[in-house]
Structure 1
Amino acid sequence: MSAFDPKPILSSLPGLPGVYRFLSAKGDVLYVGKAIDLKRRVSSYFQKNDQSPRIKLMLTQVADIQTTVVRSEGEALILENNLIKALAPRYNILFRDDKSYPYLVLTGHAYPRLAYYRGALDKQNQYFGPFPSGYAVRESIQLLQKVFKLRTCEDSVFEHRARPCLLFQIKRCSGPCTGEISAEDYKRDLSHAAQFLQGKTHDLLNALDEKMRDAAAAWQFESAAAYRDQIQSLAKVQEKQFVSSNASETDVDIVACAAEEGMVCVNLVMVRGGRHVGDKSLFPSHGEDYEVQSALEAFLAQHYLDRSIPPVIVCNGTDEFGTLAELLAAQAGRKIALVTNPIAERRVWLEMALKNARLAISQRLSLESTQLGRIQALQEALSLPDSAQRIECFDISHTMGEATVASCVVYDKLGMQPKEYRHYNINGITPGDDYAAMRQVLTRRYEKIAAGEGVAPDVILIDGGKGQISVAVEVIEEVGLQDALLVGVAKGETRKPGLEQLVIPSSGQVLHLPRDSAALHLIQTIRDEAHRFAITGHRARRGKARVSSSLEEIDGIGAKRRQKLLTRFGGLQGVKAASVDELCQVEGINRALAEKIYQALH
């Protein structure tokens, strides 16, 4: 135990529901928890002798306790999870899955477009999902193209076509851009696609079969053949489904948690309208020493609070989730069934998800074993201590000096850490001066770290030759970051992978590692990731800079209205800065059009 005396704080705690936080001597939050009775729950930490190793270690670091009283256990649960997501305490299990899930969208145009979408939902469009991955969305788009031939092209392409595109030629689009299909027929196909996405496949097949027979009876054999082809395509889709449900319109999430060899994995399977749309394996931070039930409770709270919730969630917990189920039901505005003892097909789904969770753990352990071998090989090749784990790599990207962006990617804890990646917009230098760009990004990055903000790396990789390395040496000396090993990754004479030279300025060495070296493979992986990330940032910045006038792409904004907007606000930047109410004040702009303009520019 630490020298911290909790008695004065414990004696003043109320017997009310709330959230408690254990803090370190530096003021960092170590752990966040909820309680029905704060006094009893917090006191129990200092009265038990059979705590887990994780809790015992945490208690040795506690220097203060803070509490927040709330009105109910449900409010405590919400506050607890908001604090966990915001503070990322070291001893809480944390499912880092901050990205919004992708949707499939049917836009609100006269000829709606079928598209992939991620972000805030707009009432003007029709959304289906969420899907567990972008791949699942794109697979569904390809399927709908084959069966219903809906358009997927951008508005700028759709509005300026003079003849049908290749998708029309290969029968993946019905060609609404050039009037190859009537508005009524396109609307019918759209309705059928929506039925399919809603899981009403059985009703859809019956309706198509009836229309096929009516067309054949009326001697409209081409129409009958088209309906026949759609029926056959949909039948094949049903046959290919990995999971199918007798309750065809049921939306279900299956959540299976496995804990093996000190690792926790949650496999999330999404079934929409009885159709298996994919699964996703999630590995929480600080998951070691947590039991399945605790991990499930953490996942269900962190994942579903603030997200759309299906009516049924099947999971492999051993206990009931009373308070959590009530809270989710209140959020969804309807009853939510949390099923922990499923029967029939739902049991099969759960067993499948549990098997996938265990398989994901096995694969992660295998990968970590490979990564461990790579980092050990790098430590040996560069004469690094065994504790050296964190590597940061920098690269510069621009087009003839335009929109220069520097990237910093991080490798730590036996893997790339995307949440720690950073883009740096480079300004105030001569366009195309890579040395000045490298100086700027390294200075901005390591001045803060040298001042104690952030984690110092063990190795700094610079993608470049002697010039970039010389600049890096000067910057590292200026900021006083002396403990990190600086390594330049220079391409070989023929610039082929495997011929890289490792330049180490501290010793004056130039290393040529064998092509099959595990250390070289790790360096190549990190260097390539820095290159990819730099190009991504550069293209995004360049794209913004090259927009001549976004107003031209907005439906309903012709030359006259565009001129009035630009005159009224002094240019495109002024239009972007204007609110919806200010846009409404321009002649010829009603509120609906103002909202469309605002949304398009933001």
Structure 2
Amino acid sequence: MANMEKIADKLAILPAQPGCYLMKNKGGDIIYVGKAKVLKNRVRQYFVGAHDFKTTRLVANIDDFEYIVTASEKEALLLEINLIKKHTPPYNIMFMDDKTYPYLKLSKEAAPRLEVVRNTKDKKADYFGPFPDSGAAYDMAKLLNRMYPLRKCRQLPKKECLYYHIGQCLGPCIRPVDEAVYAQMRNEIRRFLKGDVSDTLAKLNEQMLAASEQLQFERAQEIHELMNSIRHVVDKQQIDFKDHLDRDVFAYYVDKGYISIQGFFMRGGKLLERSLSVTPLYEEEMEAFVAFIAQYYAHNPLPNEILIPREYDAGMLRELYGEKIVQPQRGDKVKLVEMALRNAKNAHEQKFTLVERKDQQKQLAMGQLSRIFQKEIHRIEIFDNSHLAGTFNVSGMVVFLDGEPHKPGYRLYRLGEYRSDMDSMREVLYRRYFRLLKEGAALPDLLVVDGGYQQVEAAKEIREQLDLDLTICGLVKDEHHNTSNLMDDRGTIIPIEKEGPLFFLLAQMQDEVHRFAISYHRRLRKKAMTRSILDEVEGLGEVRKKAIWKKFGSLKNLRAASVEEIRTVVPEKVAENIYHLLHNLDQIKNDA
């Protein structure tokens, strides 16, 4: 329940200016970030009048709020995007999910490379995309690198590689390549990626016929398969604008408190489609739409035009992107916008039932937990430990807020020497909650330990030692180590319906904390396993180590090499250090 006395005092002094507001729960976590043209009016709306169920649930979790005044609504929008990215609040619409779309990057270096990237900030390159999925981007990169002998290495090596010997690289590492040759390749690749493949197909057809006439049937078949690959990857689109401009088209549909946004991305006049998921709506629909577009272009290049329906208020978008915002009135562009609107509605209708059901299941599960423990449960922290015969002893903590994973709250712990599972649990819980006490931070509504009564007892010891007001329970597992039931802090088994929403939430929590802890454990093991005896050699860094392994391939070959042979890869002093270290090891083994 919101702390209305504290909130009412703050509402009374809110300024009538634009800015951002940050809603916090009783634990001090930022659960929602919004922007406002007039802070005083917008923030008050949350605490007066009736709301739909989702907004009511958000408000029930608000214990405090902060605000930041900005000079304009545009500044507030840009600040909102940065705050959402920084804090990842659980109630905000995270359309981009911290992901970016794949692009093909053609570098402008003397010896160019073509690769799939998601970061488009390097100005010394051309970018083509976005691609509807990463598989299509990698297929296209593989095809073009097969067709054109571009450089494949990230850095030029000192001698030629396999690609040179099979004719897929011109070998700029060992011989100069005429700039005109690479310039022609760049131009052909640009035309190809803009959809003009007729010249390429005609050229390949000539090569296939010539190979057949010379009875080089395997070569002819290879070219024929390459042509089929081109036709498959560069499929003709239903919509094809002859001006070959890059356009993005956006539209949204709102119903029953959820919003669905559809984006079409046109590159070189050809249409690529990207459907976006249905998401709960906690703000004005146009504000959510503008925030989505701003989030998208924070990570992606601007096209020539951004098309939106003519009915929308484009004021804020025009402030951000100027004349690139187009609201077509007639012709093919209107048809494109109408198609985006239809797709947004269709996607909403197709996915809404599933999304709503999932939302209801979370609410039911959290409600059942609240009834079991006779208190409101919003924030849950769950711990799991992992080790291998007492080594690499670690623990992971994951956080669930209102039934959803809250990844900013996740924590990893590297524990001390392993003595027992109980000692490991005591250590991690003491470290976690002593720090919260020291910082004056709020405790979770429920602490879950992934284990039986002994683990619960370990948690109770720390609760008493630190004098915590903390509700504790354990996950009871069956003979297959799967979640079976709950156990309260008295050791009483609380039966859970196996097909019920709480059972599935608990299973999800157990899987998530186990994945989180074991992944950290494996990373530590892998790091230890990949340590090399060469780590002990003075003057030998990662680059030189890679060069050593590339030259000799194994420790056995390196041990058999002379100082002079090792000197061909690293400086003389380092070569001597390597030689003496390896042969001193041999002497130690012999003495033993």
TM range (shorter): 0.5 to 0.7
Between the aligned partners of 1:328 and 1:402, the Cα distance in structure 2 is: 55
The aligned residue for residue 170 of structure 1 is none
Give the counterpart of 1:279 among 257, 275, 282. 275
1:537-576 correspondence to structure 2 within 5 Å: 537-545=520-528, 546-548=530-532, 550-552=542-544
Residue ranges of structure 1 left out of the alignment (5+ in a row) = 36-40, 163-174, 330-334, 571-602
The aligned residue for residue 600 of structure 1 is none
Distance apart, 1:85 and its partner CA: 5.2
TM-score by length of 2: 0.68
Question: After superposition, what is the alpha-carbon deviation per residue over 1:548-591, rounded to whole angstroms, capped at 9, x for unaligned?
Answer: 45324767999769966998xx9xxxxxxxxxxxxxxxxxxxxx
Between the aligned partners of 2:518 and 2:35, the Cα distance in structure 1 is: 42
Between the aligned partners of 2:163 and 2:43, the Cα distance in structure 1 is: 71
Q: 358-367 or 99-108: which moved more?
A: 99-108
Q: 1:263 to 1:192 in 2, by over 3 A?
A: same
The aligned residue for residue 592 of structure 1 is none
Look up the SS of the partner of 1:99 in the other structure.
coil
The aligned residue for residue 524 of structure 1 is 507
1:459-538 correspondence to structure 2 within 5 Å: 459-492=446-479, 495=480, 497=482, 500-502=483-485, 504=487, 506-510=489-493, 515-516=498-499, 518-538=501-521
Matched, 1:443 2:430: yes
Question: After superposition, what is the alpha-carbon deviation per residue over 1:118-139, rounded to whole angstroms, capped at 9, x for unaligned?
Answer: 557556776544557xxx1134
Give the counterpart of 1:195 among 185, 189, 194. 189
The aligned residue for residue 587 of structure 2 is none
Question: After superposition, what is the alpha-carbon deviation per residue over 1:310-356, rounded to whole angstroms, capped at 9, x for unaligned?
Answer: 23323347334234324235xxxxx5234376413343234223422
Between the aligned partners of 2:63 and 2:408, the Cα distance in structure 1 is: 27
Distance apart, 1:407 and its partner CA: 1.7
Q: 1:115 to 1:260 in 2, by over 3 A?
A: same
- What amino acid does structure 1 have at the position aligned with 2:251? A
Between the aligned partners of 1:216 and 1:450, the Cα distance in structure 2 is: 79
- What amino acid does structure 1 have at the position aligned with 2:460? V
Q: 1:24 to 1:205 in 2, by over 3 A?
A: closer
1:358-377 correspondence to structure 2 within 5 Å: 358-376=349-367
User: Percent identity among equivalent residues?
Assistant: 22
Distance apart, 1:459 and its partner CA: 3.2
Look up the SS of the partner of 2:373 in the other structure.
coil
Is the CA contact 2:387–2:394 (under 8 Å) kept in the aligned structure 1? yes
The aligned residue for residue 584 of structure 1 is none
Question: After superposition, what is the alpha-carbon deviation per residue over 1:183-220, rounded to whole angstroms, capped at 9, x for unaligned?
Answer: 259999x959983897422x223322234135525735
Is the CA contact 2:85–2:98 (under 8 Å) kept in the aligned structure 1? no
Give the counterpart of 1:387 among 358, 376, 381. 376
Give the counterpart of 1:415 among 381, 404, 414. 404
Distance apart, 1:532 and its partner CA: 1.3
The aligned residue for residue 232 of structure 1 is 228
Is the CA contact 2:128–2:193 (under 8 Å) kept in the aligned structure 1? no
Q: 1:110 to 1:496 in 2, by over 3 A?
A: farther
Matched, 1:425 2:413: yes
The aligned residue for residue 328 of structure 1 is 321
Q: 1:486 to 1:45 in 2, by over 3 A?
A: closer
Between the aligned partners of 2:191 and 2:523, the Cα distance in structure 1 is: 32
CA-based RMSD: 5.4
1:60-71 correspondence to structure 2 within 5 Å: 68=69, 70=71
The aligned residue for residue 266 of structure 1 is 261
Is the CA contact 2:453–2:491 (under 8 Å) kept in the aligned structure 1? no
Look up the SS of the partner of 1:395 in the other structure.
strand
Matched, 1:179 2:165: yes
The aligned residue for residue 98 of structure 2 is 99
Distance apart, 1:442 and its partner CA: 1.9
Matched, 1:406 2:399: no
Between the aligned partners of 1:368 and 1:121, the Cα distance in structure 2 is: 37
Matched, 1:245 2:231: no
Question: After superposition, what is the alpha-carbon deviation per residue over 1:528-547, rounded to whole angstroms, capped at 9, x for unaligned?
Answer: 11111223333344444545
Question: After superposition, what is the alpha-carbon deviation per residue over 1:496-537, rounded to whole angstroms, capped at 9, x for unaligned?
Answer: 64xx45462522224565654543333222111111122333
The count of aligned residue pairs is 520
Question: After superposition, what is the alpha-carbon deviation per residue over 1:209-258, rounded to whole angstroms, capped at 9, x for unaligned?
Answer: 234135525735655544433332332345586x6534484433333323
Residue ranges of structure 2 left out of the alignment (5+ in a row) = 173-180, 533-540, 552-565, 578-592
Is the CA contact 2:105–2:117 (under 8 Å) kept in the aligned structure 1? no
Distance apart, 1:260 and its partner CA: 1.9
